[in-house]
Structure 1
């Protein structure tokens, strides 16, 4: 029997999905359900070079999932062939350093982590429980954004705060985008035929951005912290700031802590600086047309990223490769060039021809005289599917 794996990512008002054959990184189909819980929800399905969009009135998560599975049947996809369902879970706290098969104990641990990711974990758990109710005899696997970074040493994950905050409340750096960083690190090892002593820096740039120092296939430092707000400048998130700014703005503007935190997450970053957009493509086009604040936003984004890459290098003794991934990292030659120009101290030098068309075999964009710099397309959904296969292989 053909074994298939369904990868599921449940958000508060949406979910993403991809269906894979066991040994094929190209999905059979994928798509997105959005505006769940509103008057008019929708599901978009991409299948065999075609795209189908369906509107569903007043659909919650379960209604939309049942509708999706009905569409599977209409596309002649046999639900009995789904061997495992992999769930993206944002926060695993200190409970999980690897993906796990979900049972009641795992659900309890996820609920205990919800205070660390109140916008994400409850929605992830809801998706898991709905799928468990529908696929009662199918293995369900949780794959965590934080798990890959559980290898950080204490000097990298601890804040200089009262130690009891960590011991009693779990206040520490956890890191995110772990599935993406793990995937591109594995691909780099394969492409470059690296041994077990390799040292690389991976840079995931999308609307959310983070970078990691990886040694011997393990994350030893990363830019995101207790939440995804820490670290690099992002689409709408501020990244690193002086914590006293919160008190200053509360006193000046009378805003509540919730209002300020919302602005740091949703009205800052590229959007806040440019007052135009959180989309890098829009900002690059605007900069070329003379939009001053778009240019400022890009300059801050690139400078802070280069600064953080330099900081991550302190965890390493050498650098085998610097790897760009994510929507911006994979597609914006301009941003890659701007960042690498700030990293000459680490021996990086861009090859502008390769930067516009990365080497087809390796993804290299650096010159022959440079420390290696590459572009590798991430595939987080396939990484989740691979973990599902690994954890359920004894039952195949």
Structure 2
């Protein structure tokens, strides 16, 4: 039976949504409420090929959800709010408590709140979105789809940190990984097109403002670059990625900073922004590099080097590489970054076609490449919708 499912991705000042008709996976409407909390917030949605946009004051997420529901009713897509039977929410951190998507109740909300200490930039906001829909769509069943779930298949050798066992057990300290919906989606697309053999040894590079690499073996995550929190791994827009842990107490002491000050520094003032001193946006840094800016050049060199390190390591985890995927904002749209990465992977049999790469084709490998190189636009909302149906039908 056809069901209308709403997939939600709540950010600190944004609310991204798609309404699906399931199981056909038909997108009925998609949109974004941006700059929530400001007088010039922007509400945009796409319906029947038309773009609708308004600029207005939107005080909070509750008001944003009201606008979304009103737009759905006014468009005629739904005659009654009760037609939306399920709302799937992207939730950043499920810890060791949740290795699969779950229907949301009071206890689940408490656990999401408790886990906010592990994902302070995301879990609290995810919870705000959940509570807003609970208020405004009381008849819909809500499902939490966790970023971390896809990586629950990692072996202990990949997720264990070399810390005292008592602390690890007490606080659930381990590598959890994130961007699970994105890595899961691009794997499913590659599998659909090329089959199990071609995708049995696959590396997925989710390169956006947040970024992670995932090693996928026979459909399961066996390693990923983000860790206990989304701060670990690659150099990102404003996040440091991997650093020597001794740097933290050193900076605290020398700069007289609190733990919270250092957390902000590593999450918001580091990465490409920190190295370049210019921007967290790869496009801006590429342009500055063209103008001869040496810090921009260094930022890009460090960024690419870190990605290459992980690809090399994860090829070892997989025992070889058959498919390399680029996704998310930078991965999908930056031909120069893909070229810089792939030009250093000849030893793995990677070779790309320059024209295909600059056209952002789905397949960008050269005819004589031993590895498929794919550019797959991610669709985290579709994974959220699929997971929501799965939970509601179970």
TM-score normalised to structure 2 length: 0.93
> Residue deviations 1:367-392, cap 9 Å, x none?
42332222111111111111122233
Q: Measure how far apart 1:107 and its partner are.
A: 2.3
Task: Show the 5 A alignment for 1:195-274.
Answer: 195=197, 198-274=200-276
Q: Structure 1's 223 and 364: CA in aligned 2 closer, same or farther, altered over 3 A? A: same
1:21 — aligned with what? 21
Q: Secondary structure at the match of 2:297?
A: helix
The alpha-carbon deviation at position 189 of structure 1 amounts to 1.1
CA distance in structure 2 between the partners assigned to 1:354 and 1:329 by the alignment: 14
Q: Which moved more, 1:69-78 or 1:106-115?
A: 106-115
Q: Does 1:7 align with 2:7?
A: yes
Q: Report the CA distance between 1:221 and its aligned residue.
A: 0.3
Deviates more, 1:226-235 or 1:188-197: 188-197
Q: 2:27 aligns to what SS in structure 1?
A: coil
Q: Say if 1:181 and 1:212, in contact at 8 Å, map to a contact too.
A: yes
Shift of 1:25: 4.8
Bigger drift between 189-198 and 235-244 goes to 189-198
Query: Unpaired runs of 5+ in structure 1?
Result: none
Residue 132 of structure 1: CA displacement? Answer: 1.9
> What is the CA distance between 1:56 and its match in structure 2?
4.3
- Pick closer, same or farther for the CA change 1:166–1:290 going to 2, 3 Å: same
- The total of aligned residue pairs comes to 392
Q: How does 1:149-164 map to 2 (within 5 A)?
A: 149-164=151-166
Tell me, in whole angstroms, the C-alpha distance in 1 between the residues paired with 2:358 and 2:41: 39
The root-mean-square deviation of aligned C-alpha atoms, in Å, is: 2.1
Counterpart residue number, 2:30 = 30
Give 1:184 deviation, angstroms.
Answer: 0.5
Instruction: Please list the CA deviations of residues 230-256 of structure 1 after superposition, one character each: whole Å capped at 9, or x if unmatched.
Output: 000111111111111122222322222
60-69 vs 149-158, which moves further: 60-69
Aligned residue runs from structure 1 range 177-196, under 5 A: 177-195=179-197
CA distance in 2, matches of 1:196, 1:388: 29
**1:228 CA displacement:** 0.8
Equivalent residues in 2 for 1:299-314, closer than 5 Å: 299-314=301-316
* 1:27 aligned counterpart, secondary structure: strand
More divergent stretch after superposition (84-93 vs 16-25):
16-25
Does the 8 A contact of 1:86 with 1:141 survive in 2?
Answer: yes
The 5 A counterparts of 1:1-396 are: 3-23=3-23, 25=25, 27-39=27-39, 41-57=41-57, 59-78=59-78, 79-195=81-197, 198-357=200-359, 359=361, 363-393=363-393
Tell me, in whole angstroms, the C-alpha distance in 2 between the residues paired with 1:162 and 1:73. 55
Contact 1:208 1:235 in 2 (8 A): yes
Contact preservation (8 Å) 1:350, 1:370: no
Question: Structure 1 residues 34, 219: closer, same or farther in 2, change over 3 A?
Answer: same
| TM-aligned CA deviation for residue 366 of structure 1 | 3.9
CA drift at 1:259: 1.6
2: CA distance between counterparts of 1:211 and 1:259? 28
Asked whether the 8 Å contact 2:207–2:327 carries over to 1, the reply is yes
Matched position secondary structure for 1:193: helix
SS at match of 2:196: coil
Determine the C-alpha separation between the residues in 2 that align with 1:5 and 1:135.
12
Q: Assess, with a 3 A threshold, how the Cα gap between structure 1 residues 307 and 367 changes in structure 2: closer, same or farther.
A: farther
Query: In the alignment, is the contact (CA less than 8 A) between 2:198 and 2:322 conserved in 1?
Result: no
Q: CA deviation at 1:118?
A: 2.5
TM-superposed deviation, 1:275: 1.2
Contact 2:322 2:370 in 1 (8 A): no
Distance 1:197 1:235 in 2: 29
Contact 1:359 1:365 in 2 (8 A): no
